[in-house]
A and B are shown apart, each in its own frame.
Chain A
Amino acid sequence: MKVTFKIWRQDNPNVKGGFKSYDVEGLTEDMSFLEALDHLNEQLVLKDEKVIAYEYDCREGICGQCGVFINGRAHGPHPNMTTCQLHMRSFEDGETITVEPWRAKAFPIIKDLVVDRSAFDRIIEAGAYISSKTGTAPEANAIPIPKEIADKAMDAAACIGCGACVASCKNSSAMLFTSAKINHLNSLPQGKAESSNRLKQMTYQMDIEGFGNCTNTGACEVECPEGISIKNIAEMNANWMRTKLFG
């Protein structure tokens, strides 16, 4: 199998980047997309060129470190999938594949396809935790949590923090990410005590970081590898209004 990769190259944030094309041969349909890039990088080394920087770690769709725009879509042509789970059988022989980094003001480029997503960490830092110290927990079954509630919390908690929601959103909004984390913790009895403060602090931080707002187009939930529902945003907004009105 043979393809042409058209890849965004940019040495560092201070220089102008641009696309560069690479013809790559010797690929197979079983190879993952990232393995095809690995293959290209090996060729580049042998040609005495600098390798392309792109991110990955677990390569099984759970760590959230990989993530690029492929032919205009976050994580490639399939919905609800990470870049590392994408395989070359999803492309035609001879196809030109355009690869870009996430584009969002809050995710500045570091190099080539690598962006800085530390804004997500700072949103977590603002309040995505339950303030109880190690060693202070009551018996685990002391507070029953009905299955429906535990399942709903788990649906929201599944977020892998890849940033595809931001990258697919025309407003570069982080509301799917933020609402999922808020709803995970706020729906559990252990998280209730700090729920309104958590909501305020995390949404405030989201605005400071320069993410946009949600206009309900739903692109995020299509690209989200965990299929996290946009209903989380509606719930967060409703609770935000409630907090504003009633404290």
Chain B
Amino acid sequence: MRLNPKIPEGDLEKKWSNYQLKSQLINPANKKKLSVIVVGSGLSGAGAASTLAELGYDIKCFCYQDSARRAHSVAAQGGINAAKNYQHDGDSVYRMFYDTLKGGDFRSREANTYRLAELSAPLIDHFVQQGVPFAREYGGTLVNRSFGGVQVQRTFYARGQTGQQLLLAAYSQLYKMIKAKKVQMFPRSEMLDLVVIDGKAKGIIVRNLVSGQLERYAADAVVLATGGYSRVFRLSTLAIGCNGSAIWKAHKKGAFFAAPSFTQIHPTALPQSSEAQSKLTLMSESLRNDGRIWVPKQKDDKRKANEIPEDERDYYLERRYPSFGNLAPRDIASRAAKERIDAGYGVGRLKNAVYLDFKHAIEKFGLTTIQDRYGNLFNMYKKITGIDAYTTPMLISPAAHFSMGGLWVDYELMTTIPGLYAVGECNFSDHGANRLGANSLLQASVDGYFILPNTINNYLANEIKADHPTIDHPEFEKTEKEAQAHIDKILSINGTKTVDHFHRELGKIMWHECAMSRTKEGLKKAISNIEALKEEFWRDVKVTGDQYEMNTELEKAYRLADFIELGLLMCTDALQREESCGAHFREEYQTDEGEALRVDDEFSFVSAWEYDNGKFNLHKEQLKFEFVKPTVRSYK
């Protein structure tokens, strides 16, 4: 199969408008006859569901949580980027496009990345109109701050709760359309499989998480908005329920999976403190605007942070990357922390952390200003650790965070299964091999609000006259039976080990071999270890309770079964890519200074994997750089 990304003709700045001019329209009377399923109710899912409903389509929206307002977009803290140039500091759509492309180490499409930057400014207008209380100047205009990998101030924020405020705006709009009877909402409902009829996505099988019953839903198109899959590492900044099952099931039904191993390790999370830990809490990157990162110059320094004099501290980011300093991009900041920790300079009880210090910022700007900028983050830090970060430096450590990889989508956000779309973090589109801070809320939002509602019509226009699917179709019967058999199998094993045990084991393998630093040997070992773990899971896992009740162990079990298989694909992808780019750092491919060494001649393509009966076949989408020449990505 030849992958066609469907990039429109013309100059970079004209592509999106050219596309819209040529795409097919559907009249309002016909839109009413077309139905769309949206799986996921986060920023991209709720944005897509409410906007498609406003356009007149009949929408069904599903989420596993008790309410759409819980989706993990809620946890994004620092902000959302937009090329408004309100700060008069030389920003523009082109500069934002270039920063994003470079930030992703030239492993994303020019056209997609440009569109992301192009749609950023109207998105801020949109959210302000929806009532998002962004930070303001005394005179009433919007405030900006900086984020990593960027030298202008283009990040808009609502304290340290930007994701929450954007999500709540999307959730409000979703409920506006529920009241208008244009959206039917199904909370506590989890997609177990995709129904494909004659090669097109036509519905889903869902488990009602309260009754445990399997249910069938049909539609003319299916949109997946199911977020990231970094819980494959078990310890991550994600919500405990976040999972990769919907996209994995779609992958097994024929959707190609792109760049699965591109995972962002965030440099500023709270360090792990015990084996029982379930979650690594993120401390927003915005803290690096004013906080300075350091470790002691002396190995195994037993002194408390405040007792270590200035000249005995190593501000290693400022030392290695003088022009970006503490605002170096995430992949680089994480690797630099790992380098110091591995070399024996780590701090904290388990020597697995570095300091993030606000002493200088407080001296310079005063306590009140710092409290105003980051108050809720400092409070959160205190609640979790019991430590006051105004007087003692924070302890931070890298943690698995964002999935740049995801289902392969074309310019229209359609996967390789016609009628199946992927929006937000669950697709691979704009971020290449590393995502810049404050670009994830942006991508989720523009995918859902602005892009999909203008591309899905191009497919649905041809479905008006087609047979509208019904749940009596034999494919629904067959797919439901398969989903039922999967659950029956898990419940029948009755082994000796808990689901969490297997998840911890998978997490250890993935973290050691497929996270910040990867090697050929390590990845090969990881693949064989995961295969053994998979065999053991299906022989020895123990799940109590039954299907027809609220059963959180069963939910964890079927999600983990998919994570194990996804882990295999991630390692396969990382093994195949014999270069370093962005977050993908193969130890064999580095410069003398320890920086990532890209191999453009051989690897300037998007890896798109096809599922083939337990095996993965590689397809390559060659990346064409017509407008920008890929350069060595330097932040020195």
Contacts and interface: CB of A to CB of B under 8 A. Distances in A.
Interface of A: 11-12, 28, 30-32, 34-35, 38-39, 41-42, 44-46, 48-51, 53, 55-65, 78, 81, 85, 87, 89, 110-111, 114, 116-118, 120-121, 124-126, 128-141, 143-147, 149-151, 153-154, 157-158, 160-161, 184-185, 188, 190-191
Given A137-B122, A140-B84, A158 B450 contact: no
Interface string B445-464: 00001100100000000000
A38 B500 contact: yes
Nearest to A134: B51
15 contacts: A12-B549, A44-B544, A49-B544, A51-B544, A58-B74, A58-B239, A59-B278, A65-B66, A78-B383, A114-B550, A118-B187, A124-B175, A129-B173, A130-B131, A145-B140
Nearest to B51: A134
Contacts of B65: 57, 63, 65
A103 B626 CA distance: 62
Interface in B67-94: 67-72, 74-75, 84, 86
Interface residues of B, number: 83
Contacts of B323: none
A42 B500 contact: yes
Contact of B72 (A31, A63, A132): A63
Nearest to A152: B133
B553 A41 contact: yes
Contacts of B586: none
Contacts of B47: 134
Interface string B132-175: 01111111111000000000000000110101110010011101
Interface stretch (B22-30, B269-277, B406-414, B612-620): B269-277
Nearest to B132: A157
A129 B172 CA distance: 5
Contacts of A78: 383
Interface in B489-528: 496, 498-501
B471 interface: no
Q: Which of A34, A146, A157 has the most CB of B within 10 A?
A: A157
B210 interface: yes
Interface in B542-570: 542-545, 549-553
Contacts of A63: 65, 69-72, 74-75, 239
Contacts of A118: 66-67, 187
Nearest to B545: A50
B75 A110 contact: no
Nearest to A42: B498
Contacts of B74: 58, 62-63
B131 A185 contact: yes
Contacts of B501: 42
B276 A35 contact: yes
Interface string B92-133: 000000000000000000000000000000101110111101
A225 B58 CA distance: 37
Contacts of B549: 11-12, 111
A161 B125 CA distance: 26
A interface secondary structure, majority: loop
A30 B278 contact: no
Given A31-B274, A49-B544, A140-B142, 11 more contacts: A48-B544, A51-B551, A60-B279, A64-B70, A65-B66, A114-B550, A116-B66, A134-B54, A137-B130, A157-B165, A185-B131
A45 B125 CA distance: 51
A64 B167 CA distance: 13
A59 B276 contact: no
Contacts of B384: 32, 85, 87
Contacts of B159: 154, 158
Contacts of A61: 380, 383
Nearest to B158: A154
B241 A133 contact: no
A106 B501 CA distance: 37
A82 B414 CA distance: 39
Contacts of B187: 118, 121
A42 B541 CA distance: 12
Contacts of A133: 51, 54
Contact of A110 (B124, B210, B453): B210
A141 B143 CA distance: 10
Q: Which of B66, B67, B276, B453 has the most CB of A within 10 A?
A: B66
B134 A146 contact: no
A44 B159 CA distance: 41
B559 to A, nearest CB: 13
A199 to B, nearest CB: 15
Given A140-B142, A147-B140, A188 B133 contact: yes
Contacts of A145: 136, 140
B34 interface: no
Contact of A158 (B129, B161, B281): B161
B380 A35 contact: no
B282 interface: yes
Given A31-B274, A64-B69, A136 B129 contact: yes
B380 A85 contact: yes
Given A59-B239, A126-B179, A38 B278 contact: yes
Interface in B477-494: none
B67 A161 contact: yes
B417 interface: no
A30 B125 contact: no
Nearest to B237: A60
Nearest to B211: A12
A160 B163 CA distance: 12
Contact of A51 (B137, B449, B545): B545
A110 to B, nearest CB: 6
B308 interface: no
**List of 9 A-B pairs having minimum Cβ-Cβ separation, nearest first:** A144-B140, A137-B129, A129-B172, A150-B136, A137-B125, A153-B133, A154-B133, A59-B279, A57-B239
Interface string B25-69: 000000000000000000000010011001000000000011111
Given A28-B276, A51-B544, A137 B67 contact: no
A238 to B, nearest CB: 21
B176 interface: yes
Q: Which of B51, B185, B278 has the most CB of A within 10 A?
A: B278
Q: Which of A31, A117, A143 has the most CB of B within 10 A?
A: A31
Contacts of B141: 141, 144
Nearest to A126: B179
Contacts of A57: 65, 70, 72, 239-241
A221 B383 CA distance: 17
B550 A53 contact: yes
Q: Which of B47, B239, B500 has the most CB of A within 10 A?
A: B239
B50 A62 contact: no
Contacts of B500: 38, 42
Contacts of B210: 110
Given A56-B240, A60-B75, A85-B384, A46 B542 contact: yes
B386 interface: yes
A185 B384 CA distance: 31
Contacts of A157: 133, 158, 165, 168
A118 B212 CA distance: 19
